Amino acid sequence: MTKQQLRAIARKHGTPVVVIDHDIIRRNYAEFRRHLPKVQAYYAVKANPAPEIVRTLYRAGASFDVASLPEFMLVCENIKGLSPKAQQDFIWDKIIYANPTKPKETLDVLDRYRPLVTYDNVNELDKIKRYAPHAGVVLRLRVPNTGSMVELSSKFGCDAGEAVDLVLAAFRVGLVVEGLSFHVGSQCTNFENFVQALNMAAAVMSESRSRGHALKILDIGGGFPAAYNRHVRPFSALARKINAEIARLFPDDIEIIAEPGRFLVATAATAVSRVIGKAVRDGKTCYYIDDSVYHTYSGIIFDHCQYPVKAFKRGHTEICAVFGQTCDGLDVLSQAEELPDLAIGDLVYSENIGAYSNASSTWFNGFPPAKVVHVNQ
C-alpha cells in the first residue's frame, strides 16, 4: 500500500485502523511453496484469525494449523461449497489440531471430525483415547529453540529419549500415530535449529520403524522468520538447508507439512494511528497515539517484537518517545523513535504488524480494538 492509499483509508474509516493487503498474503504463500515445494503449508491460525485471511489462504491451496476449538470451527465455517462428506475429507487432509494439551470437552467435540491431534505425554494420550478415540495422533518432539524470538521448548514437546516409548504407548491403547512434529521457536533466525530438529526427528522415526511402526507424516512446525528488517536472512537460504536435510534424512514417500503463521501474514498489515497528545518530558518530545500495547501493538508485550512508528510528514527528525492511549504506564510503544515535529491530529503508521498484533487486542481501559480493513481480497 502507498502512503497516499493508507492516508485515504484512514480518512474514510478513522483511526486507529489496520490495513491488511491480501496480495501480500498470496505472495508470501507463493514464496513459501516455491522454496519448499515438498512441504504443505498449514497456516497457523493463531497468528491472525481473520476469516478473510482463512478464505484467501484456502483458495490459494493452504491447509490449517489450529490450537483451539474456536479456531477449528472458524476454519470449518469459512470453507464454503463442500458437501458433508467432502468437508469430512477436508478436515482430515487440511486441519491439524497442534496444541498438545486439550480440554476433554474439546476432544469430545473433535472426535466426530476424526482430525489429526498432537500429544507429548502419556496423560494427554490417555485423554485422547477416552474422548477422541477416532482421531489420528502426532507426537510432538522437544527440539532446540536457541535464538528464536519466542521460545516454546520449555512448555511443549517430549524428550527424544522418551519419544519412541510414547509412540508404542499410543499403539498399545489402540490409537494410530500418524507422524512426528516439532517447533523450533517463533521467528527463528538461527537456521541451525531446523537442522538439529530434522536430525533428531529422523533418529526417532528410524527407531520407531525398527520397532515395527513406520511414521508417515513429519510436521516441521513454524518459526519461519518474517522479513521485519534487513537483518533477517532470506527465506530462500533457510529453505535450502531444510530441503537438503529432508532429502538426506527422509524417504521420498514421507509427507512433510509445516505450520507457517508469522511468515505468511506479518508483512501484510500496516497500522495507521493519529497523534492525540504531545508533551516534553526530561527534554524529550513525547507523542501519544490512539492505539496501544493492549491493542494493535500487543506484540510488543506478548511477542517480543518492535514495530517502528513512522510519520507521513517529512522534515528534520529527533529522538522521541511514543506512548499508547491508555492510562497505564506499561503502554509504551517506543522510547527512541526518529520522528519529525508532529502536531496533534497528524497520522503515523507501523508496517509489518500483521502477526500476533490485532489478534491479541483487548478492550482494556474501555478503548475498542482498531478497525481492520482488508484490501485486494
Catalytic residues: 327
Tell me the three state secondary structure of residue 6.
helix
User: CB under 8 Å to 33, separation ≥6 — which residues?
Assistant: 41, 61
- The CA distance from 341 to 347, in Å, is 12
E strand or H helix at 72 = helix 69-77
Record the cell numbers describing residue 94, joined without a space: 487440511
Helix runs in the chain, H state only: 3-13, 22-35, 51-60, 69-77, 84-94, 104-110, 122-131, 160-172, 192-210, 235-249, 262-265, 299-302
Helices 160-172, 122-131: inter-axial angle, 10-degree rounding: 20
Query: E strands of 48-90, at which residues?
Result: 63-66
- The CA distance from 19 to 173, in Å, is 49
Q: Is residue 275 within 8 Å of residue 288, measured between CB atoms?
A: yes
- Cis amide prior to 16 (ω within 30 degrees): yes
Q: Give whole-number Cα distances, 303 to 56, 95, 150, 352, in Å.
A: 25, 25, 7, 13
Record the cell numbers describing residue 74, joined without a space: 472458524
**Residue 101 burial (10 A CB sphere; 0-12, 13-18, 19+):** middle
